[in-house]
Every structure is written in C-alpha cells, then in structure tokens.
Amino acid sequence: MSRERTRRRGAEDSVLDPAMRARVQRRTVAVLATATMLSGFGTGASLSVGALILADMSGSDAISGLASALFNAGAAVAGIPLARLAARSGRRRALVAGSLVSVLGAVVAVLASAVDAWPLFALGIALVGVSSAVSLLARFSATDLALPVNRARDLSFVVWSITVGAVVGPNLIGPGEAVGRALGILPLAGVFVFAFGAQVLAALVNWIGLRPDPLLASRQLPPETGPLAVPDAADAAPDAAVDPRSADALPGAAPSAGGGSGPAPVVHGSPGARWLVILAVAVAQSIMVALMAMTPLHLMHTEGTPAIVGVTLSLHIAGMYALSPVIGALASRLGRLPVIGVGWALLLAAVVLAYVAGPNHLLVQIALTLLGLGWGAVTVAGAALLTELTPSSERPRWQGRSDTIMSAAGAAAGALSGVVFAAGDFSFLALLSGAFLAIGVLASVALRRPSAPA
C-alpha cells in the first residue's frame, strides 16, 4: 500500500474519535461550501443568458426554452454516474470530475458563439449543466459525517453557499458583454468565460480540500443507532420508523413504546416512502424551472431590460438559497414534512402572482422570489428526509436517483415551458404550473399515512 493511501486510510480511521469526526465534518462543510459558492458563479451567469442567446441565435422563442431544459438535462444525465463514481471512489473524485465536465461546457459555449452555431451552443449549455449535479451531490456530501441531528443544518449550509455566486452571476451580464466584445464573440456569451474560471477554481478547492473523503471516511464509522437511524441490514423491516422530528407526525398524541404519550411517527423507511419524497422534490423542481426559464423572455417582451432580467433572477436565486440555514433549522425543529408543506404554500403564492402579474415587473420579481423560497423549503427538507429514510449503505444510490429525477423533471419542464409560452403567455404557463403543483401536495400528504406505499 502506498504512503499516500496509508495516510488517507489513517485519516479516515481517525474519524472514529468523536472530536476528530466533528473537526473533519466542520472542515468538510467549509470546503464544500467554498467550492459550491464558486460553482454558483458559473451557474447563475449561464442561466441568465442561455435563453436569450438561444433565442437570438435561433430566431425562435420556443427554442429558447431549450437552454434551461438542456442545462437540467446535463445535470440529469450526470446524476447517477456521479453517484456511482462517488460510491466507488469517493465524493472528492466525483465532484471534481463533474466540475471538469462543466469547464468543457463553458469552452464549447464560447466556441459556438464565435461560429454562430446554436446547436453547438446548446451542447455547451448541457455540459455546463453538470455543475448543477455537482451542487446537488455536494449537499449530500455534507451529510456523510454529520451527526443525525445536524444533517439538515449542515446540508442547508452548503445549499446556502450557492447564494453568493448565484446572486452575483446574473449581474455579470454587463461585464460579460464587455468580455464578449473583446473576444470577438456574441457579447452575451462572455459570461461563459466567468463560468470557465469559476468551475476550474471549484474543482481545485474540492480536490485539495476534501481530505479525508467524507463518504469513504463515513464507512469507517459504526452503524447508526438511536431514533434517527434506519436499519442498515439487507433484511431490515422496510417500514422501520424514523424519529418523529424528521419523519413528522400526525396532529395529536399516541401512546409511545414506553407507555407515555408522544407524536405517532407516520413516515417509514420503505422504498415507497423514498419514491414519494423524490416525487415531491421533482415536482418542486419542475415548477421552479418552468417559470424561471421563461421569465427573461416575458420581461423582455414587456419592455424589460437586461438589467431588470439580472435583478429579477438574482432575487429568485437569493430566494432559493439565502434562507437555506433557516429552512434547515426549521426542518430540524418542526419536522421535515411541515417545512415541505410551507414550501408548497409559497410555491402556490408564486404561481398566483405570476398568473396575475402581466407587464408589472414588480409582481414578477415578488413571484420569482417566492418561487425560490418555496423551492428551497421543499428541496432542503426533502433531501434531509430522503437521507434519513435510507440505510447508509444505500444512500449514494438513492441520492443519485433523486438528483437524476429532479434534474430530468427540470429539463422536461424547461423544454415544455418554451412551447407553452410560445403558444400562450406567461399567465398560461403559471396556470399549468399550478395544476402540476397538486401532484407534489398529494405526494406529501401520502407521506403522512401510517404506512407509506411499498
């Protein structure tokens, strides 16, 4: 065994010590947050201009919807392969590999704008979209060494770290235009130069900083015990209940095992329950992507400017990520399902405002902010709940499924949103989004049954 491998194995074994585990977890979360923050610069900038560039290059508003669709498709295609790579070789290699694919995507997008080839530009958008899969994987990476009671908090902090880059990203349109002109390419495509640099830095931070690898180190820990643990044996009961704080409970009290009274847990660690969580998260993603993807075109069609588009998307992305620590704290204190319910209420309010907004840019901005907040509540609480409903040995596989389905739902919503917008308008798109929201609500209600479907 090489000296480097011996050193890594020694570091991984050291997390058996509680104090060392806590220190490694703090450093891991800090590294993941820093890399995710950098990655957010590229993501925010790319999403800001992707639809506008495709509309300009192709001459079709319907094709512009492909920008968001392909971005999410890239994340969907990468989700399961990155999860498998993480399970085999660790989170660090998977995160870095995804960032390098995004670097390639930024290069392809710049070259495509130089030769005015929108299909090639669309490919670049899809490759850049792998950065979204990296961000999703990073949030789960924060839970590998976390104590069960701290999982939602640590996960939400990594999600929050996207805020800085993602909020600043849409406002790089102006500087990006200057870079684009200097390079002799389509001015708006200059933001992909920033995406290139951001993804390179994110890859370096993860490669250098994630030592020991959190997933590999977590395999040295003893099996989890206590009320938050899900049985890890292959033949464990599929409906083993988890802690009421994470699984939530019906109103009122029921006799506890010890003869006292307490909330009756209603979510169980069966595959059926995990699929319901994945469905709820996917619905939230599709609603968010559909409305967000067409917002730039709606604003530009109602006398908006690129600056207004940038501010609106910044507010939206701030809503998605800025309050993630608050959402994580509420999910730990109130329970995962109540927070998911709050998310559906916020998404409904966003849909209603988007429906009535028309040319009122302020209402569009409020709607997009609420859209981000609702999405954040559902996805943060949902990710924490999925982790706790899954045995530790199966988590990478189920997390990969969740990320892939979530991204695929966003891709489909992004593609269809362009067609719906071209056939109707922004209000019609909001109306259809509201109808789709009911599916997510029903999935969440089903999770409250005494036994989730197998």
Work out the mean pLDDT of the chain and round it to a whole number: 80
Query: Worst-scoring range by mean pLDDT, 302-306, 341-345, 363-367?
Result: 302-306
pLDDT at residue 20, rounded to an integer: 87
End-to-end CA distance of the chain: 44
Q: Please determine, for residue 32, whether its predicted confidence score (pLDDT) is greater than 90.
A: yes
Count Cβ neighbours within 10 Å for each residue of 175-199 and write b for 16 or more, e otherwise.
Answer: ebbebbeeeebbbbbbbbbbbbebb
pLDDT at residue 269, rounded to an integer: 63
Angle at 200 between CA 108 and CA 195, to 5 degrees: 50
For residue 140, CA distances in Å to 46, 104, 213, 382 come to 24, 24, 13, 11
Q: Please determine, for residue 243, whether its predicted confidence score (pLDDT) is greater than 50.
A: no
Query: Which band of pLDDT confidence, cut at 50, 70 and 90, is reported for residue 284?
Result: very high
68: Cβ contacts below 8 Å, ≥ 6 apart? 47, 50, 51, 289, 292, 293, 410, 411, 413, 414, 417
Sequence spans of domains, the chain: 7-220+265-446
Query: Which band of pLDDT confidence, cut at 50, 70 and 90, is reported for residue 28?
Result: very high
Instruction: Name the residue with higher pLDDT: 179 or 379.
Output: 379
pLDDT at residue 62, rounded to an integer: 65
Instruction: Name the residue with higher pLDDT: 132 or 283.
Output: 283
Q: Please determine, for residue 349, whether its predicted confidence score (pLDDT) is greater than 90.
A: yes
| H/E element, 262 | strand 261-262
Residue 60: how many CB atoms within 10 A of its CB?
Answer: 14
Mean pLDDT of 171-178: 77
Q: pLDDT tens, 116-136?
A: 888 899 899 899 989 888 988
Mean pLDDT of 387-407: 86
Mean pLDDT of 71-80: 85
Q: Quote the tokens at residue 35.
A: 């890399």
CATH fold of 7-220+265-446: Growth Hormone; Chain: A; (1.20.1250)
Query: Which band of pLDDT confidence, cut at 50, 70 and 90, is reported for residue 298?
Result: confident
pLDDT at residue 270, rounded to an integer: 78
Q: Please determine, for residue 216, whether its predicted confidence score (pLDDT) is greater than 50.
A: yes
Query: Which band of pLDDT confidence, cut at 50, 70 and 90, is reported for residue 231?
Result: very low
How many alpha carbons lie under 13 Å from residue 138 in its C-beta half-sphere?
Answer: 37
Query: Which band of pLDDT confidence, cut at 50, 70 and 90, is reported for residue 259?
Result: very low
Q: pLDDT tens, 309-323?
A: 878 887 888 888 888
153: Cβ contacts below 8 Å, ≥ 6 apart? 146, 325, 328, 329, 332
Query: Which band of pLDDT confidence, cut at 50, 70 and 90, is reported for residue 453?
Result: very low
Q: Please determine, for residue 334, whether its predicted confidence score (pLDDT) is greater than 50.
A: yes
Q: Please determine, for residue 253, whether its predicted confidence score (pLDDT) is greater than 60.
A: no
Global pTM reads: 0.72
pLDDT at residue 65, rounded to an integer: 65
Query: Which band of pLDDT confidence, cut at 50, 70 and 90, is reported for residue 247?
Result: very low
Mean pLDDT of 229-248: 40
How many alpha carbons lie under 13 Å from residue 124 in its C-beta half-sphere?
Answer: 31
Mean pLDDT of 73-97: 91
Mean pLDDT of 161-171: 72
pLDDT at residue 367, rounded to an integer: 94
pLDDT at residue 267, rounded to an integer: 43
pLDDT at residue 42, rounded to an integer: 65
Q: Please determine, for residue 80, whether its predicted confidence score (pLDDT) is greater than 60.
A: yes
In whole angstroms, what separates CA 281 from the centre of its chain? 9
